[in-house]
Structure 1
Amino acid sequence: MKHLIFDFGAVVFQWQPAALLARVLPQRAHDEASTQALQRDFFQGYGGAWGRYDRGTIERPELIEGLVAQTGLHADEVAAVVDAVPAELAPIGPTVELLGRLRDAGHRLFYLSNMPRPLATHLEQSHHFLSWFDDGVFSGRVQLSKPEPAIFVHALERFGVPAGDCIFLDDHPANVEAARALGIDAVLFSDAAQAEAELREMGVLA
């Protein structure tokens, strides 16, 4: 039996920030170049204001103020994007099906996600399948974030499981590398089919 630790954004839940920005602010993100530039300024590789929001060290007012300064957008434009994020985080059907198969096979499920507190609460209240997870860590609630080693150590201690008995799945190479450096097997996630194939090669699923 293995302990499977899942990232959430772009793994369990949809996360396509470029598409989100183009949908909410078409006047600003009107072609590929403008969309990519806006995404870069808005999220700053999940640093900047959004990184602090993920980490739980600022709340919505400070987030909007910081994003206005970073992007040059109006406050109402920034607020529209922030307000659209919960709906963007829709479950990815094939991943949810994979979670069910892993659970049925007797593996324990956990999550480790960079997620601000309001979005963490939204996901918990909106999706019944989160009850399949034994436990989880959201960055905004512990004021640590991936790929910092400290958040992985915190998660392992909270879950009460040894690193060598875990497999971590995440779509960001830096997070996968951080997990491996701590002795955690890890899968770089691109989609559910690829992840399931790798888990089968690892003997997790028959």
Structure 2
Amino acid sequence: MKAVLFDLFGVIARLQSPASQAVLEETIGADRERFWAAYWGHRAPYDRGDVTGPAYWRGVCESLGIAPDARLTADLIAADLDSWSGIDQHAVDLLDTLAGRGHTLGLLSNIPEELAARYETTHPWLDRFSVIGFSCRIGSAKPEPAAYAWCVRELGLAPGEILFVDDRADNVAAARELGLDGHVFTTPDALEAALAGPPV
């Protein structure tokens, strides 16, 4: 194993907290279950970069029977970006450990352009990655095979020389179907132990 290809959210960055989800729910003022169904139902094109933030939120609002104005759209975009901005510093520190051992590091994340731009301007540790596959810029998102294939090509390694790390078992399974090794992430300590032990 020569490279470790990381997922971002749920591994290095934290998933949305209940508090941040509540801010989104209060901002849009819609039924909770219907809101989250619309939020995720419209998300894939946003993550792939097919639509911008305003267009994404227009679609979400239309599904809920809400006519968004510029202020509401801006508030929703801001609350959404904030909800995905928490970092696990222990996981960030692990990047340095792995790089020190000679591992090449890559990143593959389902992420819209506005959020990708925020991470680039606020998180200098992104420089630790020799390859960054943001879905909004490569035109495909996990678990689509093309997303993994893009990273394999950019890393310049055989699939079997790459360990893909993600908190979602379905994304790891998709990577394994293409010949990558896979690790379902739970904690930084568990990942470090797996890397130090037998192949995962």
Q: Give the TM-score, by structure 1 length.
A: 0.84
- Structure 1: how far apart are the matches of 2:65 and 2:82? 24
For residue 158 of structure 1, report the CA deviation from its aligned partner: 1.6
Q: Is 1:82 the counterpart of 2:47 in the alignment?
A: no
For residue 199 of structure 1, report the CA deviation from its aligned partner: 2.1
For residue 7 of structure 1, report the CA deviation from its aligned partner: 0.6
2:55 is matched with: 62
The letter of the residue matching 2:16 is Q
For residue 176 of structure 1, report the CA deviation from its aligned partner: 0.5
- Structure 2: how far apart are the matches of 1:174 and 1:73? 33
Distance 1:102-1:73 versus aligned 2 partners, 3 A rule: farther
Pick the aligned partner of 1:115 from 102, 111, 115: 111
Pick the aligned partner of 2:131 from 117, 121, 135: 135
- Structure 2: how far apart are the matches of 1:29 and 1:18? 16
Aligned length: 197
Q: Is the 8 A contact 2:164 2:181 kept in 1?
A: yes
Output one character per residue of 1:10-65: Cα deviation in whole Å (capped at 9) or x when no partner.
211112165422134348789xxx64553233223xxx2x2111011011221121
1:2 is matched with: 2
The letter of the residue matching 1:43 is W
Output one character per residue of 1:87-134: Cα deviation in whole Å (capped at 9) or x when no partner.
331221111111111111111111011111221121111111111111
- Structure 2: how far apart are the matches of 1:36 and 1:167? 36
Q: Give the TM-score, by structure 2 length.
A: 0.87
1:51 is matched with: 44
For residue 69 of structure 1, report the CA deviation from its aligned partner: 2.0
The letter of the residue matching 2:182 is A
Q: Secondary structure at the match of 2:142?
A: coil
2:100 is matched with: 104
For residue 164 of structure 1, report the CA deviation from its aligned partner: 0.7
- Structure 1: how far apart are the matches of 2:73 and 2:198? 43
2:13 is matched with: 13
**Residues 195-204 or 65-74, more deviating:** 195-204
- Identity value in percent: 30
The letter of the residue matching 1:7 is D
Q: Is the 8 A contact 2:104 2:129 kept in 1?
A: yes
Report runs of 4+ in structure 1 exceeding 3 Å deviation.
24-30, 34-38, 71-74, 76-79
Q: Is 1:91 the counterpart of 2:63 in the alignment?
A: no
Q: Is the 8 A contact 1:42 1:71 kept in 2?
A: no
